[in-house]
Amino acid sequence: MSVSKHRPSLQERRARKGAARFYAVQALFQMEASDVPIGEITRQFETHRIGAETETETWAEADLAHFRRLIEAVVARQAAIDQMTNRALVAKWKIDRIDPTLRALFRAAGGELLGAETPARVVISEFVEIARAFFPEGRETNFVNAVLDHMARAARADEF
């Protein structure tokens, strides 16, 4: 008797990648807000959040490999990502002056843009949706879209 494994559909795989991006933003925010090393934060997310269920909430499943790749990319290339973000921001606004959630979002998106796996337009769209989740009533989504578009054109000019 053979046991077949459920292979996730394209929609499920996309949802898990989206959740990985969302968790990466949260982990990067937490890393900056606390003085806990990113390796410990990553372990906490993988052990206690991603896919976890409690009596009051259920955390979405995520593509753990994508989550790890994003975190590793940001840690390895944070200076380059921050420079790319600074160039995309209005002259008097530097990355250290913006909201820490947006800073984490730009870093995660920048990490993904510096890789070649996901098309730039998909990265922009996915992170604009994450911004909408964090700032449902604000103008931040338009700001995020503009900054990420600038970052994507700098990182991947060949796609535009």
Number of domains in the chain: 1
Full domain range(s) for residue 53: 10-155
Task: Indicate whether this model's pTM tops 0.85.
Answer: yes
In a domain, 160, yes or no: no
pLDDT in the model for residue 150: 95
pLDDT over 90 at 91, yes or no: no
Q: What's the CATH code of the domain at 42?
A: 1.10.940.10
Q: Residues 41-74: pLDDT tens digits?
A: 999 999 988 888 888 888 889 999 999 999 999 9
Condensed to tens digits (0 to 9), the pLDDT of residues 97-121 reads 889 999 999 999 999 999 878 999 9
In a domain, 5, yes or no: no
Query: pLDDT per residue over 1-32, tens digit each?
Result: 545 566 778 899 899 999 999 999 999 999 98
pLDDT value of residue 4: 52
Q: Does residue 69 lie in a domain region?
A: yes
> Would you state the pLDDT for residue 94?
75
Question: 3-state SS string over the chain?
Answer: CCCCCCCCCHHHHHHHHHHHHHHHHHHHHHHHHCCCCHHHHHHHHHHHHCCCECCCCECCCCCHHHHHHHHHHHHHHHHHHHHHHHHHCCCCCCHHHCCHHHHHHHHHHHHHHCCCCCCHHHHHHHHHHHHHHHCCCCCHHHHHHHHHHHHHHHHCHHHC
